[in-house]
Structure 1
Amino acid sequence: MILGRIRSALADVTQPDPALDVPIEWEYGRPSGTADVLGTFVEMVVDYQAVVKRVPASEVAATIATLLTEYDVASVVVPAGLDPAWRSAITAAGVELRADDPPLSHQQLNRIGGVVTASAVGIAETGTIVLDHREDQGRRALSLVPDLHVCVVRADQVVSDVPEAVGRLAGSVTEGHPLTWISGGSATSDIELSRVEGVHGPRTLLVVLAE
């Protein structure tokens, strides 16, 4: 009966493609026109209880080392393709550098203090960071198990909204890369609104915005 009603309602529809049947003046993936994309991104990320450091690209390595020292991180795991200068700065700060080759077990990752990765896209409107897990980001477990995540986002990776981000990520999807969408440190609330952090990933997110 339900399908019959649907067929009756569509009897006068001659164009099977809904996008053509009801045209909308909208170009998917077009920037939304956010006046201050970087400023909005920072504001939204901070609103998620994350820490953001805006620095020149030349100061990224030193900033990573400073953050790890400030948060008393004794060891970090890094993906294979991480910038060598960042690796050197981490080692110089006295932080133990762990490689994921061969892949570390979840138990081993759980004993490591943090992880340092690059990123694929930042979204201003939602304060979201997307990883597509290329060589400078590593496999998903690296960014989900350790308790602290230092994530570097380049200014040219920050887009206005989700549709623009999806357009940027089309190549990653086509190539079969998994996507991890991060909006602040991991947190959840129960029915009594008691906030619990670190349930589904790192409880502390530190973002270095390289300009």
Structure 2
Amino acid sequence: MSSRDLILGRVRRAIADVRQDDTPYEQAVDRSYLREHGRRSVAETVDLLAENLADYRAIVHRCASGELAATIAGLLAERAAGSVVVPAGLDAAWLAATDVTRVPDRLGSTPRELDAVDSVVTACAVAIAETGTIVLDGGPDQGRRRITLVPDHHICVVRVPDQVVSSVPQALQRLDPTRPLTWISGPSATSDIELDRVEGVHGPRTLEVVLVSDQPRADVTS
């Protein structure tokens, strides 16, 4: 008997006593909970996102769409990045102001090869203000999950306000659960038993989030 058969057998035994007329799952759970906490304007929601991202030690920048290429070039220059991983569907204009070596997101890239790359630039699927979370879904402008887990520096671009929602329930409405979702709240971090925080253990040590809109704003940094 395979592991699959064993698990399915346990499931069948667990539900053997469920009546055919039992309340359907989608009706059995009360889902009348709050969709968001409080009422906020679009600007207030974006401000909350920036505040919570910074609270998780992400570095937050704001710029207008016409300033995005220069902003990304400046962030790569500050890191003295010599190479950057680029998802296949990333807008080429985002990197037009830098001559940093582009490393394509390839199926055959090894962890060692990705670890040798200085930075990665991606878009995102959605950003959640109440939790300060960025969600990637492996779309063409985000690439494979591993390119955002191995390089030490991740620049993630969030389109404001289109990709910003208030809450997790609102985000789930936009996401496809069959896609490879990566939920990011700040740079990678963990703590030992004495609560000593260590960053960069299982993901990028530095996360920089660029909130790009048609209205320029001063940078907000953590």
Contact map agreement 1:34 1:160 (CA 8 A) in 2: no
More helix per residue: 1 or 2? 1
Any unmatched runs of 5+ in structure 2? 1-20, 214-222
TM normalised by structure 1 equals: 0.83
In the other structure, the counterpart of 2:128 is: 123
Percent identity between the aligned chains? 54
User: How far off is 1:16 after superposition?
Assistant: 2.0
Counterpart of 2:185, as a letter, is: S
| 1:163 correspondence with 2:169 | yes
- Give the AA of the match of 1:163: P
For residues 22 and 168 of structure 1, do their structure 2 counterparts lie closer, same or farther at Cα, with a shift above 3 Å needed?
Answer: closer
Q: 1:34 to 1:50 in 2, by over 3 A?
A: farther
Q: Distance in 1 between matches of 2:29 and 2:195?
A: 42
TM-score normalised by L of structure 2:
0.79
Distance 1:32 1:166 in 2: 16
Distance 2:172 2:159 in 1: 17
**Corresponding position of 1:8:** none
Structure 2 match to 1:41:
49
Distance in 1 (alpha carbons) for counterparts of 2:98 and 2:81:
10
Written as runs of structure 1 = structure 2, the 5 A alignment for 1:1-211 is: 16-17=23-24, 20=27, 25-26=32-33, 30-35=35-40, 36-91=44-99, 95-101=100-106, 103-155=108-160, 156-169=162-175, 172-173=176-177, 176-211=178-213
Partner of 1:11: none
* Unmatched segments (≥5 aa) in structure 1: 1-13
Cα RMSD, aligned residues only: 2.2
Give the length in aligned residue pairs. 191
Query: In the TM superposition, what whole-angstrom CA distance separates every residue of 1:45-104 from its partner, at most 9, and x where no partner exists?
Result: 00011111111112111111101111221211110111010132232xxx2111123531
Change (3 A) 1:195 1:26: closer
1:133 to partner: Cα distance: 0.8
SS of 1:116's partner is: strand
Distance 1:126 1:40 in 2: 9
What is the CA-CA distance between 1:118 and the residue it aligns to? 0.5
Structure 2 distance, partners of 1:16, 1:152, is 43
How far did residue 31 of structure 1 move?
4.7
Q: Deviations over 1:155-198 (max 9, x none)?
A: 110100000000011xx33xx32000000000011111111110
